[in-house]
Amino acid sequence: MCGRALSPVEFDGRRLGNDFGRVRPPIKDFLLLGGMMANKADVQALVRRYRSWSAFLRTAQLVTRYARDRLSYPRGTRLVMGNALIAQMLLGLRQAGVAIRFDTRLVGLEKCGNRVTSVTVESNGVPELIGARVAVVLATGGIGHSQEMRRNLDQAEFESLTPPSVRGDAISAAQNVGAVLERQARDFLWQPVSRVPDGAGGHRLFPHLYLDRAKPGLIAVNDKGERFVNEGASYHHFVEGMLGVSNTSTRSNFPAYLVCDSTFVDKYGIGIVPPGTKNLRAFERTGYLVTAPTISKLADKLGINARGLELSAAQQSEFASQGRDLEFDKGDTAVSRFNGDSLQQGNPCLGPIQTPPFCAVRVFPADAASCTGLKTDRDGRVLSECNTPIDGLYACGNDMASVMQGTYPGPGATLGPAIVFGYRIGMHAHVRASV
């Protein structure tokens, strides 16, 4: 590739992702990153909209604001949480005059000696070579749906919550120019998901983050009908329990079954079933929800051990009366209490399971992000097999091996390092460009 004619478009240390979305008029780009945005307090109000006047009024305000926005814009303009952060970054790029390409896929990297000099991208089936005046920064989302990488990591049986466009393209391209993949203690960060039938023989994934698992009156059991984890644990640690990582058991606990009673569903909902739902037949017909008049018959429908489930449900009711989970400490940890029912006196995570019909939803492991990625140094420079930097090649985000070494301290464990190393990369590349 040395001396080959390059595209006049310069790739000056700026990030090219696999798929940033569809092009919109520039003035609206930073506004229209989502539909009706909601933070955690908003979600609690939405699911309890008919339970209190305060929740109803907050819901009405959210819906009214969204409806007003839709009169002028294709989507809502209220931005919260991650969308607000990304919108601010996108606005900054616009104001700095940075060219952003949508619907563009990274195909490969080109080297001249030990230096990466260009990237090949593809847009609408048309390849293009783009010169890298300073450097190439890889931040395309990690392993994602790359079946080859997932097979090599022995993770092919699990589904991914990452966007379909995340296919490990940058990691593959970097490996082709000598980069090394660094394995972590855990290859992925996990979330438990239920599979929602789409009516066409397939399904979509619903992540069970905080709306149901930590609430009082729900247990998670395996096919023996036995609990295996603190249901109020973080989504990642919950799935570690499913995979047999976080306890002494060597067997896997998936699929797992979230089990509750009709009182729980009425108050909190479960999965895609909203609170207050009285008629559950529609969810039963699709196979998403399983109900039965007794715990034993519920176990029979699920194909799990009936005696084990009966004992687990009875034990949970006993723990609720005592206010203490003597098996897995549900309600003792800060995260479980935070996600429990703050309006309940005593332990916010414990409640009886005793009012028929009894209900269950199957949940499976799915990854939200990859931890295993390209090996880099402290400045985000991608390293070769000799542990030396590949000149002109950086990685951050999920393309870079996680500095958390496969552990999950809490929300932001991927976004935080991505921002930090994005900054370090920018500063390092700026110094190089100034020399």
Give residue 10's pLDDT. 30
Backbone dihedral angles phi then psi of residue 41, each to the nearest 5 degrees:
-65, -35
User: Residue holding tokens 């109020």?
Assistant: 232
User: Can you tell me the distance from the alpha carbon of 178 to that of 382, in angstroms, rounded to the nearest whole number?
Assistant: 9
pLDDT tens digits for range 263-288: 999 999 999 998 989 899 999 999 99
Per-residue pLDDT band for 116 (boundaries 50, 70, 90) equals very high
Q: Domain limits of the chain?
A: 1-20+101-187+371-435, 24-96, 189-367
Are the beta carbons of 385 and 180 closer than 8 angstroms? yes
Are the beta carbons of 118 and 5 closer than 8 angstroms? no
What element of type H or E holds 390? strand 389-395
User: Can you tell me the distance from the alpha carbon of 359 to that of 372, in angstroms, rounded to the nearest whole number?
Assistant: 37
Q: Is pLDDT larger for residue 54 or for residue 305?
A: 305
pLDDT tens digits for range 224-252: 999 999 999 999 999 999 998 755 444 57
**Would 1-20+101-187+371-435 and 189-367 be classified into the same CATH topology?**
no
Give residue 245's pLDDT. 72
Q: Residue 397 is encoded by which pair of tokens?
A: 């985000």
Give residue 135's pLDDT. 95
Are the beta carbons of 396 and 371 closer than 8 angstroms? no
User: Can you tell me the distance from the alpha carbon of 243 to that of 412, in angstroms, rounded to the nearest whole number?
Assistant: 23
User: Can you tell me the distance from the alpha carbon of 435 to that of 86, in angstroms, rounded to the nearest whole number?
Assistant: 31
Q: Is pLDDT larger for residue 118 or for residue 31?
A: 118
Give residue 285's pLDDT. 95
Per-residue pLDDT band for 38 (boundaries 50, 70, 90) equals confident
Q: Residue 58 is encoded by which pair of tokens?
A: 């907050």
CATH of region 189-367? 3.90.700.10
- Say whether 180 sits in a helix, a strand or coil: coil
Q: Residue 7 is encoded by which pair of tokens?
A: 């595209």
pTM for this predicted structure:
0.84
Query: DSSP class of residue 433?
Result: H
Pair type for strands 203-207 and 188-197: antiparallel
Backbone dihedral angles phi then psi of residue 369, each to the nearest 5 degrees:
-165, 160
Q: Is pLDDT larger for residue 177 or for residue 343?
A: 177
Q: In the predicted model, is pLDDT for residue 80 greater than 90?
A: no
CATH of region 1-20+101-187+371-435? 3.50.50.60
